[in-house]
Structures are given as C-alpha cells and as structure tokens.
Amino acid sequence: MPTTETQHALATRLLPLVREARFAGKKLNFKDVAVKLGRDPKRDIRVVAAACDMLDGAAAWAKVPLLALTTVMNTAGKVNPSAFDNDEIQRLYRDDIIRRSWDHNFTSAEYEAIATHLSRHASSSRISIWESLFGPKDAADRKEKEEGVFRLLAWDPGTNDAIDDLGSALPRSSIRQTRHFFRSESIRSAVLDRAQGRCEHCGQLGFMKSDGVRYLETHHIIRLADDGRDTVHNVIALCPGDHREAHFGERAETLEETMEAKVKAANAVLDAQ
C-alpha cells in the first residue's frame, strides 16, 4: 500500500480527472486511471482504489455525495464491490449512497469544497480520513456518529422528503412545511424485510398488492421531528389501521411504548440468527 503522502498526491491528481469525466458523462476504470496517474495498470489497482477512498473521504468531510465511488469503476465496469461492505451499518446504507452518487450533479462549489478538505487532510491516509469523521474508536457515541455520516451521504433532499410519515394518505394542502426530514430507503426496506409481510404490532398480514408483495407502512416510533432516529431500531412496519392510530388515536403514547418493545424483540431475534 502506498504511503500517506503518495495516497494524498494521487488523490489530488485524481480530482480533476474525475471532475472532467463527470462533466463529460463518462466513466473511468481503475486501469485507465492508473495509466493517467503514471502507475502500473497491472500492479497498482489497489493504489488507485486508495486514491479513490481518499477523494471520497474528502467529499464526506465536505458533506456532499461521494465523487469517485460511481465515476471510477472496477475492471468489470461496476462499482467497487468492497466499497461500504465492512460492517452492518455500511451495508445498510450502501445502495442509497451509491444511488445518490450516481444521480448527483456536482457544482463548482462542491468540487472546491472537496479540494479544500483534501488539502486539510494532507497528513491523513485513506483510512484515517474516514476514521476522523467518526471520532475515537473507544468513544461511547462512535457507532452513532458513524451511522450519522453514512445517513447523511445516503440522503437525497430532492426526493426523500419524509415530513409526511403517512405518505399520500394525508392531503398535501393540509401540511404546512416548516422543516424537512430525510430518511433512507434502505432503512424502510430492512424493516419491511424484518416484518415478512405481517404488521409488527398486531400481527395481521398486509393485503397482497398487484406485484405479489404484501402491503405494510413504515412508521417512526419516535418522530423525526422529536429527534427520533432513522434506524431499524426506531422504525416499525404497520398495517394501515395501526399506523393511523399511532398518529391520531387516543392510545398513541401507550402504543409507542408497546411498539418500542416489539421492535427491540424483533431485532434481538435477527441478531441471534
């Protein structure tokens, strides 16, 4: 693996190459980038991957979508399969992070912000530039910070407006939008997978949709507006009746406690498998 100085130097040279490719709507691959950076395309694939990690670490510090992730492909023309596949948190957000990186149109200001943070982390390695985002490994809030970083990278403010937790069931004209919250589609999918088509509160099977999948709605037990977290530990799959009662019923507070217990139990079963 190249030294920290080499990783940073290569990442700095990689930035304009990636910017040019994004502007032209083209994709690069590790071998082509190796040649452009004066490296051996047969031996230095990992060197290029390290430079990509460094560049995307700077993007994460700039709080923008990841730049190299979906611009520099592997030799099969696909996103590096090892990217964001190290632990459960990363795998949970991986698809949304990739999707947002694919779709994002970077502005000049965002490129400049990435370059600024790359310069500020000249003494960091591809690993430490990410680790410094999460804080000390032994910190009590380490896991929470890590998840917060990945959640931020996965959110798309243009499409994931989750201020209306009930979706289109409530008339848009009745909502005064004063604050916006974004949630990950991966969290919703993980909760629905956990439920296996059955309401996690009453146990009722959801009705069958035309695509052969049972219908359930996802609900934040503690609302995002009340600083609830967008995680599988705070989201439950409900039938429509229980979902509306959780929002509007007189038993709402009691249901909250019951739902928290049921989600905790469901996650414990999955963790034990």
pLDDT for 179 equals 41
Q: How far apart are CA 87 and CA 78, in angstroms?
A: 21
Say if residue 150 is in the same domain as residue 171.
no
Say if residue 123 is in the same domain as residue 202.
no
Domain boundary among 110, 128, 154: 154
Q: What would the pLDDT profile of 250-272 be if each residue is shown by its tens digit?
A: 888 888 899 999 999 998 888 88
Q: How far apart are CA 140 and CA 201, in angstroms?
A: 31
Say if residue 264 is in the same domain as residue 230.
yes
Domain boundary among 154, 184, 203: 154
Structure tokens at 12: 């700095």
Asked if the model's pLDDT at residue 222 lies above 90, the reply is no
Q: What percent of the chain has pLDDT over 90?
A: 42
For range 128-156, the mean pLDDT: 86
Residues in a beta bridge with 54 = none
Say if residue 21 is in the same domain as residue 96.
yes
Q: How far apart are CA 247 and CA 223, in angstroms?
A: 10
Q: Please give the residue range of the domain that contains residue 71.
A: 4-154
Domain count, the chain: 2
pLDDT for 183 equals 58
Residues belonging to the chain? 273
Domain boundary among 127, 154, 181: 154
Say if residue 178 is in the same domain as residue 96.
no
* 199 in a structural domain: yes
Say if residue 19 is in the same domain as residue 115.
yes
